[in-house]
A and B are shown apart, each in its own frame.
Chain A
Amino acid sequence: MDLYSALQYALFVAIVTALLLPLGGYLERVFSRKPTALDRLCLPLERLIYRITKVDPEIEMASTEYTMCFVFFGLAGTLLLYLILRLQTFLPWFFPQYHTTPMTANLAMNTAISFSTTTTWQAYGGENTMSYFSQMAGLCAQNFLAGAAGLAIGIAFIRGLARQCSETIGNFWVDLTRALLWVLLPGALIGAALLVWQGVPMNFHDYAVATSVEHSRQVIAQGPVAALEVIKNLGTNGGGFFNANGAHPYENPTPLTNFLEMLAIALLPAALTNTFGRMVGRPRQGWMLYGVMVVLFALGLLFVHSSEQRGNPLLGGVHTGLSQSGGNMEGKEVRFGIGGSTLTAVVTSNTSTGSNNAMHDSFTSLGGMVLLVNFLLGELVFGGLGTGMVSMVMAAAIAVFLAGLMVGRTPEYLGKKIGPTENKMVMLYALAAPLLVLPLTAIAVSSRVGLSGLTTNTGPHGFTEILFAYASCFANNGQSFAGLSANTVLYNLTTALAMMAGRFGLAIPALAFAGLFARQKTTPTSSGTLPTDSLSFGVLLTASLVTVTALSYLPALALGPVLERLVFGG
């Protein structure tokens, strides 16, 4: 690994770690409704929103009601976005000569679900489909709303673990409003200013028409990019303004914007481990989970970097007149190189964020496989905003259960018992992914309509494209091996199903688990308690994560990237 990439990776982890305490503390204060520095600005806005929406902020909700509000809010957002998309031809800033992809009912439905679940899977190209109005009132707004709803889920989940003998886990509307006003909006304003300073456009002009140096015509898409760019990362959504997403020079003009955008993604989900530690009154528990995240993150960087730096052996080498010292540069941008592309690939694939800055379809087979594995691990290395924390704790619950089986004791976590009902919720949470992703992949690869999506690549790589698509949608990630032509009725419907299941299907058992935990009383630690903040538990957690993932997906991975590597050597 070259010095500059190593420095970039190390600095990234150092900054995330350094901001863990201040950000984690801030989040804890915001959601416990303690005074913060932003109160003077945010409190009046908060009161105004409650007045308009008739929310009583003092009401507490049981986990069932909380979940119901979360689902209702997601559906309302989906419906509004669907209407905006379907009506975009009648709304402002629609350019019929450029926005040529027809917004069919199934594409609009797929996109609406995609953005209201933070997946932001895109079966279309931004600059040739979406009007500026759709981009702002539709997609930009949903990036905020869905991101904040995810954060609310994470906070309510933590509250459930922290409380004792409680029937309630908070108020969804309060958590949502506070996530928007205290966290995402200020973050977005700061981030947007930084991005515009570095060269991300922010205008409502018509597409520019240039006459190039060699006298040909070049139409240059414009738009209000910066406002969307920052929140797509901050809310761990990831859907790009343009088709090329974070690789487009207008979305990500400099290596610094790339670094800042990656920080915007990772900072909040990482800080939640600290918020968790504070709220449950056991800071070490949070540090242990963060430690596991950093180890898995570093492994991902190492694998992807070495795989991409090696280049593509099938393209030849110096003996055939090609110098591959620059690495596997197909589908990568010169300003990012291997280091910046690797950082983004590993951050985004681990955080439910689809904002790729390179084309992952053109990654080497092993480099691409690491990204796929990151989805399959469950998006818990930092993870999606709020949801990543949930996934990590659920993984810890599995590890506790396994340890309990080994020593023959009732599994306990944070002084509470993981009884049969709690365990059922954990299992539902863990099994949903393989039970959905694998059958959907099987259906697509064994049907003619599914295979007709393989317009660019075939063979094992085509299989990987399809598996990647469903894994990405279920993980609410949204990035793709984009050689797959996914704007067909089959893919629009089945990926929408995977996205819904990955969002609401996981929130239900997660919040039920939190509700069950909230009711319990914490038992004092005894000599028989398995400590869940130790190094050995960290190792156990990592090992059980890897084992469960491998048991579920090894055969599928063998048919895709492993086969491609072994037989074809790419």
Chain B
Amino acid sequence: MKKNLVISVLMTIATTILLGIIYPLVVTGLAQVFFKDKANGQLIVKNGQVVGSRIIGQGFTGPAYFHSRPSNAGTGYDAANSNGSQLGPTNHALIDRVKADVATNQADNPGQPVPVDLVTSSASGLDPHITPAAAEFQIPRVARERGISPQELQQLITRHTEGRQLGFLGEPRVNVLELNLELDQRFPMRKQAEAR
């Protein structure tokens, strides 16, 4: 009994050093050598400044941008406080929130039903994507605000639509941050719109 007690302590310490210290350092070393960008979180740097990560969602409120999904990470897209709403399906806070968001979105694009991902908050609160339908739903507003044709936006969305992985895994999706970054690059907002 005493022998096994001693072994259990020694075993815990020895294996913790191997698997809790050596193993992560080896993986870090390999990751930093072979996949440097991905191992470091795929940060996007513009003019020497980090503007976000390619795979972490970002909030957009301006009408000239495509909007991301509602977020419950911190006060919204707080990438140091990931979280979902945790609201149950029958919770009135959920039902009221969704109905209000549906009404707001409907005002932008009357007559079209709002795609559900645009008014439901994601699990992480950091979902970088929306569905192609949710992006297309926002075309009339963005086109109006930027003074460009809906066709040009449609093309932009099509180009940013990622298909199912390996042809069958996951859902088609649009990366909102990358879409908006290209939007700003190709169709910069007019001065007065920016001031507004």
Contacts and interface: CB of A to CB of B under 8 A. Distances in A.
Nearest to B132: A334
A98 interface: yes
A323 B27 CA distance: 44
B99 A335 contact: no
B84 interface: yes
B80 A340 contact: no
A88 interface: no
A362 interface: yes
A4 B166 CA distance: 11
Interface in A340-362: 340, 356-359, 361-362
B28 interface: yes
A7 interface: yes
A203 interface: yes
A226 B31 CA distance: 9
Interface stretch (A133-141, A441-449, A496-504): A133-141
A323 B184 CA distance: 29
Contacts of A430: none
Interface residues of A, number: 129
A397 B15 CA distance: 36
B113 A323 contact: yes
Contact of B173 (A208, A259, A335): A335
Interface string B141-173: 000000000000000000000001110111101
Contacts of A405: none
A337 B116 CA distance: 11
A208 B16 contact: no
A214 B82 contact: no
A217 to B, nearest CB: 10
A248 to B, nearest CB: 5
B95 interface: yes
Contacts of B27: 189, 192-193, 196, 202, 224, 226-227
Contact of B117 (A200, A329, A363): A329
B188 interface: no
A145 B170 contact: no
Contact of B38 (A201, A320, A330): A201
Nearest to A71: B8
Contacts of A138: 20
Contacts of B166: 256
Q: Which of A8, A314, A362, A459 has the most CB of B within 10 A?
A: A362
Contacts of B10: 52-54
B192 interface: no
Contacts of A253: 55
Given A4-B164, A204-B28, A333-B122, A258 B170 contact: yes
Q: Which of B38, B69, B128 has the most CB of A within 10 A?
A: B38
Contacts of B115: 323, 325-326
Contacts of B65: 213-214
A505 interface: no
Contacts of A7: 168
Interface residues of B, number: 104
B132 to A, nearest CB: 10
A247 interface: yes
B115 to A, nearest CB: 5
B116 A311 contact: yes
A464 B90 CA distance: 13
A49 interface: yes
B193 interface: no
Interface in B1-56: 1, 3-16, 18-21, 23-24, 26-28, 30-32, 34-35, 38-43, 49-53, 55-56
B13 A80 contact: yes
Contacts of B60: 213-214
Interface stretch (A159-167, A376-384, A533-541, A562-570): A562-570
Contact of A8 (B32, B35, B168): B168
B121 A145 contact: no
Contact of B4 (A65, A340, A364): A65
Interface string A438-464: 000000000000000000110111001
A72 B58 contact: no
A209 interface: yes
Contact of B116 (A197, A314, A322): A322
Contact of A49 (B14, B42, B62, B85): B14
A102 interface: no
B166 to A, nearest CB: 7
Contacts of A49: 11, 14-15, 18
Interface in A70-90: 72-73, 75-77, 80
Given A202-B31, A335-B171, A136 B4 contact: no
A98 B80 contact: yes
A329 B116 contact: yes
A201 B40 contact: yes
Interface string A214-232: 1010111110101110010
Nearest to A358: B123
26 contacts: A53-B14, A125-B81, A202-B28, A207-B80, A219-B78, A243-B82, A249-B55, A249-B126, A250-B41, A315-B98, A315-B116, A316-B99, A323-B133, A330-B121, A332-B122, A334-B117, A334-B127, A334-B129, A334-B173, A359-B84, A361-B86, A456-B88, A457-B87, A459-B90, A483-B86, A569-B90
Interface of A: 4, 7-8, 11, 49, 52-55, 65, 68-69, 72-73, 75-77, 80, 98, 125, 127-128, 136-138, 140-142, 144-145, 173, 176-177, 180, 185, 188-189, 192-193, 196-205, 207-214, 216, 218-222, 224, 226-228, 231, 242-244, 247-250, 253-256, 258-259, 311-312, 314-316, 318, 320-337, 339-340, 356-359, 361-365, 456-457, 459-461, 464, 481-483, 564, 568-570
Given A142-B20, A248-B124, A315-B94, 15 more contacts: A125-B81, A140-B24, A202-B27, A203-B28, A214-B60, A244-B84, A244-B126, A326-B115, A333-B124, A334-B117, A339-B171, A340-B169, A361-B86, A456-B88, A483-B87
Q: Give me the 8 closest cross-chain CB pairs, A-B, nearest first.
A: A255-B170, A141-B20, A570-B89, A247-B123, A337-B171, A570-B90, A483-B86, A359-B84
